């Protein structure tokens, strides 16, 4: 569970980082290092025009503790297909990538079918834990084994993967990067866990007027803190506004008060009520005012209703101002006090 929460947190942080890149760019240059000391492997996002033949995604590694072998998987929609591979500069020439450019069995593999093979059994749980929705998609496998018997500790660009995209309709497509935790290890054969960050491909229709939009990447506002959201075109998928402010909601207090300190004829008391959205408590003074059963400083039908409940025993002591319901100050609360309140409301007294 802790690892899943860590993955979700990193995923949310990556979305906020990628939102800073201009959507007119056709590929982000790199994954900005996340404010974490944990090992992270991530893939960039890209934005292209509808009909563009390809899009390139770059896989980066940060806070690398030292690895000897790693097996990665890039998962994408079936409307895309493998177009090319290029090795980055993070790993030295002594590392040997089992490149999908040379090995056809590693390209455009059906994820569901591949994960049913004995050699990959158990990876479905790992993929799910790493936040990858892989059902019905394709994947390309890229794995590295260092020819030398030492760990590679470099950070930076590991490899680039180019996908065919000409048939994609406008919209936003997930690009998932995952790894095999059972075969990612150092030279001592110790497992090396990584947090993963995923990317997206946004396909934009040229000339779209963005007439229909939706709010995405919402940070909810609460009673005292403003929220924010981005605005995405539902026709082409482009993010047309980022960081739109949503005002704080303000407190929404209950209509019912609790009498915390009962007043007397000479000293004020106090009452409180809670916000229905948060744990904030509002307090106010309550004064001696015969007939003001609820302590709001007015005498009206609300007091009459509360008085009736008091006589029938349907309210507790902390729901009513005791000194105010004894209107004739005879030390008792009865029908005579009820009649007095009715007369007060009618203006006969």
CATH number, domain with residue 300: 1.10.1330.10
Please state, rounded to an integer, the average pLDDT across all residues of the chain.
84
- The distance of Cα 150 from the centroid of its chain, to the nearest Å, equals 39
Tell whether 172 is covered by a domain.
yes
Residue 34 has pLDDT above 80, yes or no: no
Backbone angles phi, psi at 205, to 5 degrees: -85, 120
Q: Over the stretch 262-298, which tens digit does the pLDDT of each residue have?
A: 999 999 999 999 999 999 999 999 999 998 888 888 8
Instruction: Give the domain CATH number at 44.
Output: 2.60.40.680
Q: Is residue 225 part of a domain?
A: no
The verdict on residue 78 lying in a domain is yes
Full-model pTM = 0.57
Total domains in the fold of the chain: 2
User: Are 97 and 12 in the same domain?
Assistant: yes
Q: Which tens digit of pLDDT belongs to each residue from 35-75?
A: 568 899 999 999 898 889 999 999 999 999 999 999 999 99
Is 118 found in the same domain as 21? yes
* pLDDT, position 262: 93
Instruction: Quote the domain boundaries for residue 313.
Output: 258-346
Domain contains 175: yes
Ramachandran area for residue 115 (φ above 0: left; ψ -120 to 50: alpha; else beta):
alpha
Residues 94 and 200 in one domain: yes
Q: What gap in Å lies between CA 76 and CA 137, rounded to an integer?
A: 6
Last residue of a domain, one of 138, 171, 206: 206
Evaluate if residue 1 carries a pLDDT over 60.
no
User: Do 73 and 202 reside in the same domain of the chain?
Assistant: yes
Q: What is the mean pLDDT of residues 116-141?
A: 87
The per-residue pLDDT for 36 is: 66
| Domain contains 56 | yes
C-alpha span between 196 and 209 (Å, rounded): 35
């Amino acid at each position: 569970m802790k690892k899943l929460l860590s993955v979700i947190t990193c995923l949310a942080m990556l979305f906020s980082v990628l939102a800073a890149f201009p959507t007119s760019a056709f590929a982000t240059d790199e994954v900005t290092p996340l404010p974490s000391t944990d090992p992270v492997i991530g893939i960039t996002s890209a934005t292209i025009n509808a009909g563009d033949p390809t899009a390139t995604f770059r896989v980066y590694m940060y806070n690398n503790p030292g690895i000897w072998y790693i097996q990665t998987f890039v998962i994408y929609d079936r409307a895309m297909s493998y177009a090319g591979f290029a090795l980055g500069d993070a790993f030295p020439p002594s590392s040997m990538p089992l490149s999908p450019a040379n090995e056809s069995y590693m390209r455009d593999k059906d994820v569901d079918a591949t994960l049913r093979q004995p050699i990959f059994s158990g990876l479905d749980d790992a993929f799910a834990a790493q936040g990858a929705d892989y059902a019905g998609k394709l994947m390309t496998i890229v794995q590295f084994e260092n020819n030398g018997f030492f760990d590679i500790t470099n950070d930076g660009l590991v490899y680039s993967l180019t996908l065919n995209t000409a048939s994609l309709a406008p919209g936003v497509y997930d690009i998932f990067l995952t790894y095999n935790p059972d075969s990612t290890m150092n030279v001592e054969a110790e497992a090396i866990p990584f947090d993963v960050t995923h990317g997206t491909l946004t396909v934009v229709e040229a000339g779209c007027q963005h007439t229909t939009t939706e709010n995405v990447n919402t940070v909810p506002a609460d009673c005292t803190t403003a929220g924010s959201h981005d605005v995405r075109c539902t026709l082409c998928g482009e993010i047309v506004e980022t960081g739109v402010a949503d005002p704080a909601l303000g407190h929404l207090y209950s209509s019912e008060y609790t009498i915390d300190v009962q007043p007397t004829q000479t000293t004020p008391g106090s009452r409180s009520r809670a916000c229905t959205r948060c744990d904030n408590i509002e307090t106010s003074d309550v004064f001696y005012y015969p007939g003001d059963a609820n302590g709001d400083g007015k005498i009206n039908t609300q007091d009459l209703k509360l008085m009736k409940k008091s006589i029938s025993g349907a309210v507790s002591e902390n729901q009513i101002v005791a000194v105010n319901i004894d209107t004739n100050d005879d030390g008792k609360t009865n029908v005579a006090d009820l009649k007095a309140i009715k007369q007060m409301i009618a203006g006969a007294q």
